[in-house]
């Protein structure tokens, strides 16, 4: 009797194995989405201990600045940052560029506690203290990099004449675009159709830029991600109401009075000018 059960079990195993082999399972991009996956990727790639330390420091800083931020799709911004760093590592970029990719949104979207976005001397000093001046400089230059529908064509025209720093910043930008388009990410944003049109022109020029930089694997991945995003149809019910990155802090968290006042007045410049002396007194505390 035991022999009969064994034969039946073996037949069932063989049938299930064949059925699973016949299935067309979509390939997933092998890019990290968590800090642990990124650390494992870098260790297996042969990163030395001293090269891993800034990556860990970069993640710790990103965690403090961006933990309540989400892409327009609803994807945690931290996952996007880790994914961007992972893409850069997969195309053999230096540890400096990988870590800068991990922090590329720090100035544009990070919460340094002052209620404002953008670059300041105080913010730059904090980033330098965490990851060093070379990485910080790349993050600052990335923030200043003018990338939009009006500038992309001109950037494409002058790729071959970019200096090394500009090339490094562009590589981070291209990795950012690839990460945003994996898993059809942009289609889950509230402006998914607009993002699809953006791919057709001028974002599709990213592929040529990657090829000009001799980054064939990145160019192929961008081309594939763009093509799949243009073909895919996402149910409207799965779309997020947000178009771009937004902050969703826990309900029990609220900004300090001075920060809240500054944010309120930043959105109302006329009122801010009218109450300028009082604002200076409150926000300086």
Q: Which comes out higher in pLDDT, residue 251 or 120?
A: 120
Both 221 and 145 in one domain: the answer is yes
The Cα 203–Cα 218 span in angstroms is 14
Both 179 and 276 in one domain: the answer is no
Both 230 and 264 in one domain: the answer is no
Q: How many domains does the chain have?
A: 2
Both 131 and 212 in one domain: the answer is yes
Which tokens hold the place of 66? Answer: 């961006």
Both 193 and 81 in one domain: the answer is yes
Both 43 and 163 in one domain: the answer is yes
Both 123 and 190 in one domain: the answer is yes
The Cα 153–Cα 33 span in angstroms is 31
Q: Rounded to the nearest 5 degrees, what angle is found at the Cα of 184, between the Cα atoms of 191 and 197?
A: 45
Q: Is residue 145 part of a domain?
A: yes
Q: Stretch 69-84: mean pLDDT, rounded?
A: 98
The predicted pLDDT at position 264 comes to: 62
For 46-58, what is each residue's pLDDT tens digit?
A: 999 999 999 999 9
For 177-234, what is each residue's pLDDT tens digit?
A: 999 999 999 999 999 999 999 999 999 999 999 999 999 999 999 999 999 999 999 9
Domain ranges, residue 259 = 254-283
The predicted pLDDT at position 275 comes to: 59
Concatenated DSSP letters for 19-34? HHHHS-PPPPP----S
Q: For tokens 């799949």, name the residue.
A: 228
Q: Is residue 21 part of a domain?
A: no
Query: Residue 194 belongs to a domain with what CATH number?
Result: 1.10.3210.10
Q: Is residue 4 part of a domain?
A: no
Both 233 and 136 in one domain: the answer is yes
Q: What is the CB-side half-sphere exposure of residue 67 using CA atoms within 13 A? A: 9
What global pTM score does this model have?
0.82
Helices (H), ranges, 26-120: 35-44, 49-66, 77-90, 95-102, 106-109
The Cα 191–Cα 22 span in angstroms is 37
| Stretch among 18-22, 34-38, 55-59, 122-126 having the lowest mean pLDDT | 18-22
The Cα 123–Cα 53 span in angstroms is 21
Q: Stretch 80-85: mean pLDDT, rounded?
A: 98
The Cα 221–Cα 215 span in angstroms is 10
Q: Is residue 93 part of a domain?
A: yes
Comparing CA positions, the residue from 135, 123, 49, 37 lying closest to residue 87 is: 37
Both 158 and 268 in one domain: the answer is no
Q: Is residue 17 part of a domain?
A: no
Both 56 and 163 in one domain: the answer is yes
Both 86 and 217 in one domain: the answer is yes
Both 218 and 84 in one domain: the answer is yes
């Amino acid at each position: 009797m035991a022999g009969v059960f064994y034969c039946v079990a073996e037949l069932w195993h063989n049938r299930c194995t064949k059925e699973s082999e016949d299935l067309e399972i979509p390939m997933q991009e092998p890019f990290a989405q968590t800090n642990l996956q990124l650390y494992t990727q870098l260790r297996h790639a042969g990163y030395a201990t001293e090269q891993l330390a800034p990556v860990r420091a970069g993640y710790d800083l990103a965690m403090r600045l961006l933990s309540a931020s989400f892409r327009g799709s609803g994807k945690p911004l931290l996952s996007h940052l880790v994914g961007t760093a992972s893409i850069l590592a997969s195309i053999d970029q230096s540890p400096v560029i990988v870590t800068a990719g991990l922090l590329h949104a720090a100035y544009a979207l990070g919460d340094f506690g002052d209620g404002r976005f953008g670059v300041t001397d105080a913010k730059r000093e904090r980033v330098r203290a965490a990851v060093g001046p070379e990485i910080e400089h790349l993050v600052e230059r990335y923030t200043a990099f003018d990338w939009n529908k009006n500038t992309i064509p001109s950037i494409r025209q002058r790729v071959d004449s970019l200096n090394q720093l500009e090339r490094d910043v562009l590589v981070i930008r291209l990795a950012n675009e690839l990460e945003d388009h994996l898993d059809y990410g942009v289609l889950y944003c509230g402006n998914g159709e607009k993002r699809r049109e953006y791919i057709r022109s001028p974002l599709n020029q990213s592929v040529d830029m990657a090829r000009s930089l001799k980054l064939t694997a990145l160019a192929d991945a961008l081309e594939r991600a763009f093509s799949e995003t243009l073909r895919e149809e996402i149910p409207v019910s799965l779309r997020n109401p947000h178009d771009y990155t937004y902050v969703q802090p826990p309900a029990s968290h609220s900004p300090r009075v001075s920060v809240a006042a500054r944010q309120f007045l930043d959105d109302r410049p006329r009122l801010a000018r009218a109450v300028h002396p009082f604002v200076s007194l409150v926000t300086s505390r």
